[in-house]
Structure 1
Amino acid sequence: MLDAFSALGLSESDGQIYAALVAAPQSTAAELAERCGLTLQQSGKSLNRLAQQGMATRAPVDRERYLPVAPDVAIGTLIGHREAELRSARAEMHRLMDTFREASRFTDPAHSVEVLTGGEAIAQRIAHLQDTTQQQVRGFDCPPYVQDPASNLSRQRRRLKEGVRYRTVYDKEAVAWPGRLEEEILVGAEDGEEARVRTSLPMKLILSDDRMAIIPISVGDSVLDAAYVIHPSALLQALDGLFEAEWERAVPLKAAIGDEPGLLEPDADHRKLLGLLAAGLTDESIARSLGWSARTTQRRLQALMRELGATTRFQAGMAARERGWL
């Protein structure tokens, strides 16, 4: 226990006094000193420090006696402070490593690629990548995920407000992920993210400007527990070219959030439907992504095709393009 307190920045005597106070609330400094084998002066100083750190308080009636703050609050606060310090140190480490690689990449090609292992390490590096981007973040989005995709919305919103451009190509399976279209993708688009969709993507990818990319080591549906970080090199240039090629082929995901439909324009539901049809989603996937029943999906598909004068999905797509709806 005392070793754990030491890891949180408490001295041995402070840890002893706090543990004794938890076991015997309403104790005086003298009583605690006797319990812990300390002098009265040592006990008094420890109690003062514990009070300053929010781990102990004086009793309301007898001011010579002390009460402990609940351990989950007192120790939890110390853990929070230490975690914040570690996050700051980790961010500084990443910044220095970026500088180190930039300085050494012409003399040591081995620094062009590094390996990350573990979901937490990958998530932390992706967060660092976004926080240090100067111009734009680009990405391929497809399952599986290291963490809940929606957890990135607040960071993306902050960076968009700071002038960073976000361009994302979503795999149809990402769009069909239950609830994700309405609760995240369209919300991100409303914030300013430029979103497009493809029937399939070659890999997961996130790019920061022209200085860094992260791609998974494994492919397919396997658990994402290892990734490559690619620094300035021919490989990074190739990933840059791959993204731009897929971006050109992808279909813009036009949600028309908040737009007033014109006389010759599709309404919001039809725009969503058109985007998903153009992306190659099946009726079942469209129903899941939009939260519609199978019957509602079929009814709206038929209504849209009648409006476009089409008898097949291909004809519907061509007619929508001719009207400028896609």
Structure 2
Amino acid sequence: MHDVLDPDSDRGRVYRCLVSHPRVSVGQLAPLVRLSESVVHVVLKELAAEDIVVTTDLETGEASWEALPPAEVVEALLQRDAALRTSLRQAGTELERLYRFARKDAGHYGALDVVEDPARVLAVSRQLQQSARHQIRVIDVPPYSGTSDHYLAQEVLQRERMAAGVVYRSIYHGSAFDDPIAWPNMARMIEAGEQARTLDDPPMKLAIGDNDLAVVTLAADDHPGVVSLLIRPSGLFQALSNVFESLWRLAVPISAAGIGTQIDARDRQILTLMASGATDDAIARHLGVGRRTVVRRVSALLARLGATTRFQAGVQAARRGWL
């Protein structure tokens, strides 16, 4: 939403133009912001959904658009940021509780067991999925040490559980796109119906089956390999569930659309420069092409990615492994 104040973004250009040109139609607005009418229409619909612009009917019957006061828009942005900070603080507090539980030296926490045997760690993961009846929630982070056979076996199990009506919601580390084994597995599961999102740096490897069992997998402190913490219903279990839901809200959805699609080197350069914040003029200078060529290619890329802003295009491109 912040990009509505950025004069170099499509949303920012449209909003700023409406601030100074009240009650204009899409046809009047498009040449003013140097965007196609189809792109302007999509941007306006998005801004209207966020209560940034409103539409009215001209006497001719054609729809016109009006910007809401900038003071109201800025206040809405500030309120959204405050809500995001509150969510992050909550996640941090819950992670701190997990940190302290996992490092508790004295006493015994009845809802927690430690599993160190690698074979049992895998067996626990299968048991968690096989016993779930409603949903599996997963946070997957590197290292991705599983073999291709392990991932294929996991695919078979997950397809069986999804066919039985179990919903899989997974948060993946952004680096999964670069892994030659993990990424194809992730792509196939998304196409099969898994709900997936990505986050730059999730804090842990976690699996939660229904409201019955959570498994946190960590690097072992005193020897190679990993250990798993099995957490049953408890205050700690609820904290882990809350952590997942907080991170789920912050993560970026992944779509099966466009998986496997490739782009040429010139479009990849344009996307990379867009993601770095470069303007159309800067991209044109860098590539040694005309500005109109860049504007045309950027519009085509936005349409291809289903994005209305440069930021959205960068996220979508990264999700598809184009950057």
Point out the structure with max Rg over C-alpha.
Answer: 1
Which of 1 and 2 has higher RCO (CA within 8 Å, sep 6+)?
A: 2
| TM-score computed with the length of structure 1 as normaliser | 0.47
